[in-house]
Structure 1
Amino acid sequence: MIADQHAVTTHSSKLSLRQMMIIFLLAIVSVVILINGWLIWNSWQRTIASAQNDAHNLSQSLSRQAEDTFLQVDLTLQDVSDRISLIGLNQAQHGYLRELLSSRTSSLPQLNGMAIYDAQGNWLVTSRGNIPKQINNSDREYFRYHLTHADSRVHIGKVIRSRATGDLVIPVSLRLNNSDGSFRGILLASVNLSFFKTVYGYYNLGRHNVLALMLSDGTILYVRPYVESAINRNISDSPLFTTLLKNASSGTAVYKSALDGKERVFGYSALQRYSLVTAAGYDKGQLMRGWFSTLSVYIALCTILLLVIFLLGMLVLRHISLNQKNQLELTAVRDRLTAMNRTLQTLALVDGLTGLANRRQFDLYLQHSVDRAHKLQIPLALLMIDVDSFKAFNDSYGHPAGDDCLKRIADALTHLPHRPDNLVARYGGEEFAIILPGGDREVASRLAQQVVEAISALNIPHQHNSCGQQRVSVSVGLHVMTQENQILSPQALIAGADRALYVAKNAGKNQVAE
């Protein structure tokens, strides 16, 4: 029972150690995953932030470039308008004005051409010199705009195809007024769309990244990568125009492009001088692929680290399991050896026939009792008990009957009223002994008489008992030692009891002698 409990306790403690190891490994793996997850997430956030910063800077650069481009055209138009105000538009001045428009066009690389139209939309002067017959531009959006708007600022219109060259151009127009403020005509400068294609081509961008120049109403003037179908497309329902520009004239945001539905990191900027908006967008998927390719080595190393931790943990757990198994086996072997040792000790100290203490245990306990009596200054009594005429009993009834007789006598002696520290032993053969630590003469005499009576009461037949009765009887020799009467020693106590037993035998047996 004790061994089983010990095994269960050991098993439980080992299970607890294994559980603690599993918890520790899970904690380590969790911490590694959390830390690296946070680092990866933070790296991605830095990538997005860097892309937003780049996109914002790029949109600002596009904004400045667009403003410079249209400012040059604006100043040129204002200069020509001032000259027209001075010299007029009569036929005599057309040659001068043609040279002036031609020189201004050649000085600005972004210009496709310049032209002057009268109040009915008829062509008066162009930078190219030749005026196509029966061509009228009163149907153009910019003409209708100036016809209804009297302001003196330039108007940037949607992309159109030039009737003179067939090229796609952005019309930049200025209203001409008479001295009374009435509508006099239009001064037009057309900006080549290919100019922005060249300028935007200088930027090193991925094929899914976007650069765009738009009117403030959401109309696309130019976009990179160039798609002709996107020109003049209106994307006013984009978050850029529905929300962002209403809150700030420039900034960054991540949203799906109205052009192709791809999610991009955008930077945007509205020009202060002109009704234009520039935008630069980095494809989020492309950013993620680039980020992941850069981070792949780190992720691979982290994965290897986790695998190493897992394998080490499995090895440790396996070692714990093996150790547990070995400990349980060692514990079982130890418990078996302990039980066997106790059994051997018991066999070494117990008489095999009667179950009483044997001679070895008697000698050890007597020595212990003598030492204790000497130390505590208490008396010590010894009863030596001999079965009367036992040889004759064996000769008459046989040795099995003799063994049974000894067993019954041992049982009777055991069941006498004893103190807990009394020892009943088989001294040898048919002799028994009782050690009474602390027993004085009165106590020893009373117990000795009880022994004689108890054995006689067994009524074991003995026809050849020389004491005169036909049943088994015993003789008892009693000796009590005290500090006053003699020196205490096991030999002296045994010798005294033996002498008393001899006296009892000679006095007729079946009695007690001191």
Structure 2
Amino acid sequence: MRDSSSSDLALSRCLLLVVGAVLLGALWAYTGWSIFEARERAKEAVRHDAANLLEISGQALARDFEIYDSSLRTVADRLNKPVLEETDPELRHLALFDRISQAKGYGSIFVLNDRGQAYLDSRFIVPRRLDGSDRLYFTTHRDDPHAGLFVGRPWTTRISGLTMIPLSRRLAYADGAFAGVIVGAIELDYFRRMFDRLRGNTRLTIGLEFIDGNVIVSNADLAPDLMMSLEPEVSGFRASTQVGDLPLRIVVSVPAETIRAAWLPRILPSLSIAFGLTLAILAVLFVLKEELTRRVMAEERAVAAQAESERLAATDALTGLWNRRRFESALELWVKPGERQGWALLLLDADCFKGYNDVYGHSAGDIVLQRIAGVLMDRAASHGGSAYRIGGEEFAVLVPCTDAEALVFAENLRAAVADLAMPHAQHPKGILTVSGGLAHGSHMPNVPSRAWFNAADEALYAAKRQGRDRICLAAANHAKEAGWAPLSLRAASA
């Protein structure tokens, strides 16, 4: 019964574990799905904002370069007008240069001859001294007549000391020979201010870079000459678009932390609820487990108490052997006629026990019975059997064995009692002995249990008649003679 209760407890705990795992799994699966959805929505929102910003900034930047290039083209076209050659220098200056070169963020436009020396300046009628013969914006056009609009790397100008991006176009004589360049510039700070204005309060990074990936400027705090990549973390986002036909592109970069900042605060309440529910589920499961354990233990105690009560009801209080009720149950339920061929029934009676009580007293007689019971219990248990006290000084033993083994067992048991050498003044041998009747089931397999018992009882009575301290074996005819007599001992001679 205890094993069954332990098994039920283990099964119930497994069920609780499964239920708890299913509940927690479902809870965290839903929470994980919610987190994934929030993150994907944040990513999609960031991609949408980045795409819009990329389109707007690309259009604005392309327009700025186009306007500035238009000014360069205007100067190149008007330089070839003969009418301007004889015009007053101030009027010629006004005709050549429009107001674009005067705008904030735009640099001066210079016209350089074929040696790289400036001879026209958009800011001054008398040009400032400028030698650009060693600059790429000059050498590129000198060496390549098809360079078109040249956009150079940022450099610090010798005139203003500002970091700018040069833009230049080639000048040619009528025969196509190199005549010099027209060069202007746009300040890097102009692009930075533009990017800051376009991105607003978003945490996006806008950068302008050459097609080869070298950054020119971004709205991040970069040194003007620092060439670094705007590539974000793997989990971030990056998009770019080319500025018209120029070797430039605008890059919008969104770092991973920016995306996390967009979705992480939204899922914190969900995580808090999930953690709270997890703790609540674990607490409920713990309480249920403890209650289940308490109930199972209470049931085990109740079963143990009932078993102990049943044991006491079936146990002889004096000797600790099973009592007469348990013996009768054993004959009827345990050793059925179909199984009786492998069992032996031995009935024992203490010889001259009445005289022992008369001489030594009932207390001494009780001690004798306890010592006999100890021998019977040990011998029966060692052979897989059971011993019973079925009357005052009467005992019974049921042992699984063959008929040959039964007789040896019975004789050894009788001798063991005699070896106790308990003094008995009223016994012819001077010590207390037992007599026994042995009935093996193989000799009477089909008779009722009461007949089997009465056959052993008849053999015990024969042992008494033959002088006591001996074992008599019941034959098959003993069972026939015993017939259907009541299941009780005959009055054996003391």
Fold match by TM threshold 0.5: yes
1:23-38 correspondence to structure 2 within 5 Å: 23-38=18-33
Give the corresponding residue for 1:332: 304
2:140 is aligned with what amino acid? Y
Specify which of 393, 397, 421 is matched with residue 448 of structure 2: 421
Specify which of 62, 68, 92 is matched with residue 67 of structure 1: 62
The answer to whether the Cα contact below 8 Å between 1:116 and 1:124 also exists between their aligned partners in 2 is yes
Count of matched residue positions in the alignment of Structure 1 and Structure 2: 376
Alignment partner of 1:135: what SS?
A: coil
Task: Report whether the alignment pairs 1:170 with 2:165.
Answer: yes
Give the corresponding residue for 2:79: 84
List per-residue Cα deviations over 1:200-238 (Å, max 9, x = no partner).
1214467975221122244433221243x3x24445xx5
Query: What is the alpha-carbon distance in structure 2 between the residues aligned to residue 75 and residue 299 of structure 1?
Result: 58
1:190-339 correspondence to structure 2 within 5 Å: 190-204=185-199, 209-227=204-222, 229=223, 231-235=224-228, 238=229, 254-255=232-233, 265-339=237-311
Query: What is the alpha-carbon distance in structure 2 between the residues aligned to residue 329 and residue 14 of structure 1?
Result: 14
Cα pair distance change 1:11/1:215, threshold 3 Å? closer
Alignment partner of 2:292: what SS?
A: helix
Cα pair distance change 1:283/1:162, threshold 3 Å? same
Deviation at 1:173, TM superposition (A): 1.2
Query: What is the alpha-carbon distance in structure 2 between the residues aligned to residue 420 and residue 142 of structure 1?
Result: 128
Deviation at 1:314, TM superposition (A): 0.8
List per-residue Cα deviations over 1:334-361 (Å, max 9, x = no partner).
22233345569xxxxx998xx999xxxx
Query: What is the alpha-carbon distance in structure 2 between the residues aligned to residue 356 and residue 97 of structure 1?
Result: 140
Cα pair distance change 1:455/1:124, threshold 3 Å? closer
Deviation at 1:175, TM superposition (A): 0.9
The answer to whether the Cα contact below 8 Å between 2:151 and 2:166 also exists between their aligned partners in 1 is yes
Deviation at 1:80, TM superposition (A): 3.1
Taking only aligned residues, the RMSD between alpha carbons, in angstroms, comes to: 4.7
Alignment partner of 1:28: what SS?
A: helix
Structure 2: any 5+ residue segments left out of the alignment?
317-321, 329-353, 366-390, 397-434, 469-480, 485-494
Give the corresponding residue for 1:148: 143
Alignment partner of 1:173: what SS?
A: strand
Cα pair distance change 1:108/1:153, threshold 3 Å? farther
Task: Report whether the alignment pairs 1:10 with 2:12.
Answer: no
List per-residue Cα deviations over 1:355-376 (Å, max 9, x = no partner).
999xxxxxxxxxxxxxxxxxxx
Alignment partner of 2:174: what SS?
A: coil
Cα pair distance change 1:86/1:454, threshold 3 Å? same
Alignment partner of 1:128: what SS?
A: coil
Cα pair distance change 1:78/1:281, threshold 3 Å? same
Alignment partner of 1:202: what SS?
A: helix
TM-score with structure 2 setting the length: 0.62
Query: What is the alpha-carbon distance in structure 2 between the residues aligned to residue 117 and residue 22 of structure 1?
Result: 86
Compare CA radii of gyration and give the structure with the larger one. 1
Deviation at 1:293, TM superposition (A): 2.7
Deviation at 1:96, TM superposition (A): 3.9
Query: What is the alpha-carbon distance in structure 2 between the residues aligned to residue 284 and residue 131 of structure 1?
Result: 54
The answer to whether the Cα contact below 8 Å between 2:68 and 2:100 also exists between their aligned partners in 1 is no
1:131-146 correspondence to structure 2 within 5 Å: 131-132=126-127, 134-146=129-141
Alignment partner of 1:172: what SS?
A: strand
Structure 1: any 5+ residue segments left out of the alignment?
1-5, 241-252, 257-262, 345-349, 358-394, 425-433, 437-449, 461-477, 482-514
The answer to whether the Cα contact below 8 Å between 1:167 and 1:192 also exists between their aligned partners in 2 is yes
Deviation at 1:109, TM superposition (A): 5.5
Query: What is the alpha-carbon distance in structure 2 between the residues aligned to residue 343 and residue 458 of structure 1?
Result: 32
